[in-house]
Amino acid sequence: MKKITIIGNWKLNGTKNLVKKFSKKINLKFKKYSKFINIVLSPPYVYIDRMRKKIKDKKNIFLGSQNTDLRKSGAYTGEISVNMLKDIGVKYIFIGHSERRIYHKENNKKISKKFKIVKDNKLIPILCIGETKKEKKYKLTKVILKKQIKKIFNLCGKNAFKNSYIAYEPVWAIGSGKSASIKDINKVHQFIKDYIFKKSKINNNYKKNFYIQYGGSVTEDNALEIISQKNVDGLLIGANSLNYKKFLKIIDIVYKYYKNKYNV
């Protein structure tokens, strides 16, 4: 059974107090869910270590970072490296989130370098890809996604996506309250899988260790429908991951779906 991954992205939000309350609730409630679900918590850098110390279940709950620099060390004031993140117990690193592409002008070339340094350090990249509203309007979704993925293959080779995650996050869906339609999620996830597997050296182990998440306005109202699609391996949740009640509600919905599915 392939476990579902639910990733929380706190973005530029949170306090010491929220870390304390949040981890307390997760410690209290997550145990039964871990049968089918892993979670990745990604608070801002300064809270990662605090969160890691407070979280008890280190086998099913992991720490993620929302970003990394593409260099290991040196005179780069204000940056944080993969080595440092690894040092404090981070396992997953977001690469190419649309907010970094937009506000920090990260292009596919820079993103592919970050992806490589994450892989080279045996951490797990979560590559975020997606089209803008305008690109969708002009039916460019597949062209854009291919471009975003291709650069990674060019730099990292045929096995680039082994032990990796892709999060399909339409830019227009993020924080808008309007997620992609189920039909589009299915179609796009299928396209991504086909493209990745076609360009990779595939075997079953590869398939088992490759995940596609959906992200963009995931709520307790749409989580069930999204997660029940065959090409969806998990969710990437922004706003609703800051509120432990909502986050746990979504986890509960996913858990019940799997409990039913596997009849246990």
Closer of 125 and 215 to ligand PGA (Cβ): 215
Token pair belonging to 77: 């004031």
Nearer CB in complex with ligand PGA: 95/236: 236
The distance of closest approach from Cβ of residue 179 to ligand PGA in the complex, given in angstroms and rounded to an integer, is 8
Of 97, 106, 131, 135, which residue is the catalytic one? 97
- Cα 162 from Cα 164, distance rounded (Å): 5
Q: What is the Cα–Cα distance from 111 to 108, expressed in whole angstroms? A: 5
Interface residues with ligand PGA (CB under 6 A) are 9, 169, 174-175, 215-218, 236-239
Round to whole Å and give the CA distance between 242 and 223: 16
Q: How far is the CB of 175 from ligand PGA (least distance, A)?
A: 4
Task: Single out the residue of 17, 19, 11, 38 nearest to residue 251, CA to CA.
Answer: 38
Q: Which is nearer to ligand PGA, 115 or 247 (CB)?
A: 247
Residue nearest ligand PGA, CB atom distance: 238
Q: Which is nearer to ligand PGA, 149 or 250 (CB)?
A: 250
Q: How far is the CB of 242 from ligand PGA (least distance, A)?
A: 9
Report the nearest approach of ligand PGA to the CB of residue 177 (Å).
Answer: 8
Are 177 and 221 in contact by the 8 Å Cβ rule? The answer is no
Helices (H), the chain: 16-29, 45-54, 82-87, 98-103, 108-120, 133-137, 141-156, 182-199, 204-208, 223-227, 244-261
Active site residue 104: no
Q: Give min distance, CB of 223 to ligand PGA, in A.
A: 11
For residue 94, give the 3-state DSSP assignment.
strand
Active site residue 97: yes
Considering the complex, state which of residue 117 and residue 170 has its C-beta at the smaller distance from ligand PGA.
170
Spatial separation of the C-alpha atoms in residues 118 and 66, rounded to whole Å:
12
* Selected catalytic residue, list 131, 135, 169, 189: 169
Give catalytic residue positions.
97, 169
